[in-house]
Structure 1
Amino acid sequence: MDESNEKQFTEIGVKPWLIKQLHTLGIRSPTPIQKGCISRILAGDDCIGAAKTGSGKTFAFALPILQHLAEDPYGIFALVLTPTHELAYQIADQFTVLGQPLKLRVCIVTGGTDQIEESLKLAKRPHIVVAMPGRLADHISGCDTFTLKKIKYLVLDEADRLFSESFQEDLETIFNALPAKRQNLLFSATITEDVRESKILPLNKEKLQIWTETDPQLTVSTLDQRYVVCPAYARDVYLVQTLRKYRETKPSSHIIVFTDTKKECQVLSMMLNAISMDNVCLHGFMRQRERAAALTQFRSNLKCTLVATDVAARGLDIPTVDLVVNHKLPLHVKEYIHRVGRTARAGRSGLAISLITPYDILRLGEIEEQIKTKLTEYKIDDDEAVKVFTTVSVTRREQEAQLDNEEFEQRKRNYRHKRWIQAGVDPELMEQGLEEMRRKRIKAAKKEKLSKIKQLQSQFKNDEEGKNEDRLISMETEDADIDKTIKDNLKKVNKTLMKKDDRFKNVIGKISKIKRKADNAKQKLEANEIKKKKKKKVTDEK
């Protein structure tokens, strides 16, 4: 490491022994978030840090924690909370590598492994505990072999997700077990109001460093962001063709395909494997050893395609991911940012492709407005896509038939019930409460969407191009009609947005043309099948 780079770390307070460790990892100078946060953390301040995925957030809190630990080594010194298994293991690895001179002891508490074994590790007072909230809350409620009353640091990595409703009860259990005097460090790619003004984790406002990137673009400049327009019913076909086109020039590149649900993830993975497109999948219903095995195969190039839910959108540090594909656009912009942040890391270039339909133009616009970047088209040959339409569609249906839906749902229920029984509550009553909360959330989300559609239609009415738009929807819509109302009016809004955007003016004609070709291909296939059956019948009769 040259003197000028070493000086940059020295200027923000990093000790020589840690700089030497960074040198062994090939890290030559601090990233902006490290420059903005490390010195303030070393000075004893609470900190909220927000930066793009891949910007060095983990070392921004790991370096000052290890430097303080070296002055007075004891356990448990720091607690790091994270929303996913994969991110927990990633953080633990980085602490372990940096802390080698200290003979650092790191304990991972995430579930998926034996709880008694985890309890024994906690009882040995490791220096650093990296945990998921649910499993750690279980240990706190049911075990007295360890204490968190002496920790100096509490870190929430991916804080925006941790402050979501699903983690709140577990976080309250954990925070009640911590000392009042400690440093709180919150890091994420995005800062939400829940992070900045949390009711369950009040921060020291007098000694609080809030650091965000000055670059208004939320995705890195080395990331090439594209879209592929396709019919909704042919999304899988265009996924296959996108992967094939990319693999023609980069056969051994690492690709992550993101899906919305665990079931969709499993089905897509099975479908791609069935048509000889090798891959592994990663989702929340897989056991920990299965998830670890999938990641090992992906990292070691045994499998170069990973099909995953948003469980892989945060924390996976695989520097060589070349392409991210969104099978569907995520509902929230911050999830899009996390997904595409899996590629173009640490200054490398990368490509992100999102499959969109005519029903996604509004959502695409919301994403582009936030990231301050316009996506460009990744061209797919429609004629080639039509040729594989029937094969892909049939294969998809076959894999769906094989999937055991009941097993998927049962795994989810079993996990919830086990947690509730350990907490001493009635699982059936909790299920009823959960269902009621789910209904309320869905109802609120639908009303919010209706309000947004009405606002857009009002804007269109005032525009020169929108004078002939259909009348505005009534906000007095009955609950029974709300789904149909949203669907019908969302279609109108997307259609108007396509007319206003030069990129999508010809989409409707293109989609109609693809449908005609797909129908013709299907008819030809069916005709050939009939001919084969007739020919076989004649042969059998002879």
Structure 2
Amino acid sequence: MSDKEFFNKFNLNDWIIKQCSSIGLKIATPIQSNCIPEILKGKDCIGAAKTGSGKTLAFTLPILQKLCEDPYGIFALILTPTRELAYQIADQFAVLGKPINLKHCVIVGGMDMVEQGIKLSKHPHIVVATPGRLADHLESCNTFTLSRIKFLVLDEADRLLSGQFDKQIKLIFNNLPKIRQNLFFSATITDTLEQLKEVTGKEVFLYETPSEIATVEQLEQNYILCPKDVKDAYLVQAIREYRTKNQKGNIIIFTNTCKDCQILSMTLNEVGFENVALHAMITQLQRLAALTRFKSNTVTILLATDVASRGLDIPTVELVINHTIPKVPKEYIHRVGRTARAGRGGKAITLITPYDIKMLQAVEKEINIKLTEIKVDDNEVSQIFTQISVTKSEAHIKLDEDDFYEKKLINKRKKWILEGLDPDEEESKMLKRSRKKNTKKLKKKYNNKLFISNDGNS
């Protein structure tokens, strides 16, 4: 099919075409042009395409078409790995399904389970859920059933089938009808392709973007080489230099851990870069509030862990910064995919220390592109280094006072209880592992000092 296929060529109902047109959607993207007709024929579908290529619409439109032909609830189940993506998908269904009074609900962790249970008991047409919370509902109540669903969608399928959600997904699959349409979508789906084919168990339509390059052409990809201990000062200077050329563009800064995310957010706020943080150690209401402020341009900088790396579509994001290069190369693709979406331009900068060279090479191999080195003003970095270091140290102290680590332990204990484990026993094991790890670090540090001393250089 042509890459410039219009939605009215898919034999979709007029009201669907009008809704698409009302939000500025007239021409289908390649993944939509290829997948929508096959899904409408009743085939299972596996769709792999670059971030920002319109994968969500590729399954939303055919589901709405089939729903209006035979409306009942619960008609479709969409599983996602992150809460934020679940809300975004639900919003798309709400907007496009408005003419038929579409009923939907979002089932994710961090929200009231009783309220969610009431919504499920009313049998909404569309359920968008994260695996953990949906599994909790299936185990704890019998006020709803998934036995009549017509569609099962795994969005970001590679993440859902990576092993992290195996127990919950097995439980969910045991509650699904054998006859259903399975739709699997992701930007990096190749690793789990065979696994997905086994899940469907029948003829599957497979669409993969015909490109060796995993990121879009409109994305400018750079790295900054910096000493490890001075990385935060380089980050601040990179933002300052970007802001001299672009005052309005939104920025997402990715970190690897919740603690780093919170510390860096506090540090940047103190040095004049107002931002909001998004990570797993804050409540779901705080996460939604942070995302809302960022989407509405009330705040133009978002600090986030990989909870924000999958599927989020925020058109105003023009720069993505990796404060820490991701350990898994394909996660880089998802992170930088938050910008340069739907044909727009964008820029990605990754801070690299001499210890990260191998990981940088792994990323370049994964995306089949060489990142370009850019320089920041070293003199400016040296002038702000002390201020940034002191501010970050103060943030560490404040985080201790805010009982951040106590909250983390409470969350861990909740998780252990849900998994049927003894929280006291698991906490004891965790403390033993931590002591063992710290002992190894001390030994290594001592041996290094001893080596230097014996060498006669200290």
Q: TM-score, normalised by structure 2?
A: 0.90
From 65, 81, 104, the counterpart of 2:63: 65
Structure 2 match to 1:33:
31
What is the 5 A alignment of 1:430-449? Answer: none
SS state at 1:228 partner = strand
Distance in 2, Cα, partners of 1:432 & 1:181: 46
Aligned-pair CA distance for 1:160: 1.0
Please tell me whether the aligned partners of residues 5 and 28 of structure 2 are also in contact (alpha carbons under 8 angstroms). Answer: no
The alpha-carbon distance between structure 1 residues 178 and 433, as it changes in their structure 2 partners (threshold 3 A), is farther
CA deviation digits over 1:32-86, x for unaligned, max 9? 1111211111111111111111110000111111100000110000000111111
Aligned twin of 2:228? 232
Q: Does the CA-based 8 Å contact 1:266-1:281 persist in structure 2? A: yes
Does the CA-based 8 Å contact 1:110-1:131 persist in structure 2? Answer: yes
Higher relative contact order (CA 8 A, sep 6+): 2
* 1:133 and 1:170 in contact (8 A); partners too: yes
Give the deviation of 1:426 after TM superposition. Answer: 3.5
> Per the alignment, do residues 41 and 428 of structure 1 end up closer, same or farther by CA in structure 2, a change over 3 Å counting?
farther
The one of 94, 107, 120 aligned to 2:105: 107
Determine the structure 2 residue equivalent to 1:279. Answer: 275
RMSD of Structure 2 on Structure 1 (CA): 2.7
Residue 227 of structure 1: CA displacement?
A: 0.9
**Contact 1:6–1:28 under 8 Å retained in 2:** no
Percent identity over the alignment is 54
> Which one of the candidate residues 141, 144, 148 is aligned to 1:143?
141
CA contact (8 A) 2:6 2:26 kept: no
Are the equivalent residues in 2 in contact too, given 1:255–1:321 (CA < 8 A)?
yes
Query: Conserved in 1, the CA contact under 8 Å of 2:4 and 2:28?
Result: no
1:363 correspondence with 2:359: yes
> Structure 1 pair 6/93, CA: closer, same or farther in 2 (3 Å)?
same
| Partner Cα separation in structure 2 for residue 433 and residue 42 of structure 1 | 52
Matched-pair contact (CA < 8 Å) for 2:3–2:30: no
1:429 Cα deviation from its structure 2 partner: 5.6
Distance (whole Å) between structure 2 residues aligned to residue 393 and residue 429 of structure 1: 38
Q: Does 1:263 align with 2:259?
A: yes
Deviations 1:139-173 (A, max 9, x none): 00001111111101111111111112221111111
Residue 451 of structure 2 is matched in structure 1 by none
2:298 matches 1:302: yes
CA deviation after TM superposition for structure 1 residue 322, in Å: 0.8
Aligned: 1:322 with 2:321:
no
Change (3 A) 1:285 1:202: same
Report matched runs for 1:197-212 at 5 Å: 197-198=195-196, 202-205=199-202, 207-212=203-208
Aligned with 1:243 (options 216, 239, 246):
239
Corresponding position of 1:292: 288
Contact kept? 2:322, 2:350, Cα under 8 Å: yes
Task: Tell me which residue corresponds to 1:508.
Answer: none
1:221 pairs with 199, 207, 217, which one? Answer: 217
For residues 208-243 of structure 1, give each alpha carbon's deviation from its aligned partner in whole angstroms, at most 9, with x where no partner exists. 011110011111000001111111110000000000
Spell out, residue by residue over 1:426-458, the C-alpha distance to the aligned partner (whole angstroms, 9 max, x if none). 3456668999999xxx9xxxxxxxxxxxxxxxx
CA contact (8 A) 1:323 1:343 kept: yes
Instruction: Please give the residue correspondences for 1:350-499 in structure 2 after superposition, counting only pairs within 5 Å.
Output: 350-404=346-400, 407-422=403-418, 424-428=420-424
Partner of 1:172: 170
- Secondary structure of 2:199 counterpart: coil
After superposition, the C-alpha distances for 1:267-298 in whole angstroms (9 at most, x for unaligned) are 00000111111111110111011111111111
What is the rounded CA distance, in whole Å, between the counterparts of 1:437 and 1:79 in structure 2? 39
Task: From the CA coordinates, give the structure whose radius of gyration is larger.
Answer: 1
Q: Given residue 203 of structure 1, which amino acid in structure 2 is its aligned partner?
A: T
Structure 2 runs not aligned, ≥5 long: 449-458
Q: Deviation at 1:417? A: 3.5
Name the SS of the counterpart of 1:23 in structure 2: helix
Change (3 A) 1:38 1:349: same
**Pairwise CA distance, 1:10:** 3.7
**Kindly tell me: are residues 405 and 347 of structure 1, through their superposed partners in 2, closer, same or farther at Cα, counting changes over 3 Å?**
farther
CA deviation after TM superposition for structure 1 residue 422, in Å: 4.9
Cα shift readout 1:377-404 (whole Å, capped 9, x = no counterpart): 2220111111111111111111111112
Find the partner of 1:313 among 290, 306, 309: 309
Distance in 1 (alpha carbons) for counterparts of 2:309 and 2:16: 29
Q: How far is the alpha carbon of 1:358 from its aligned partner?
A: 1.4
The aligned amino acid for 1:104 is: L
Distance 1:369 1:423, change over 3 A: closer
Structure 1 letter corresponding to 2:88: Q
Amino acid at match of 1:414: I
Residue in 2 that maps onto 1:126: 124
1:349 aligns with 2:345: yes
Shift of 1:198: 4.9
Q: When the two structures are superposed, what TM-score results if normalisation uses the length of structure 1?
A: 0.77
Tell me how many residue pairs correspond in the alignment: 442
Residue of structure 1 in register with 2:153 after alignment: 155
Tell me how far apart the structure 2 counterparts of residues 425 and 239 of structure 1 sit (CA, whole Å). 41
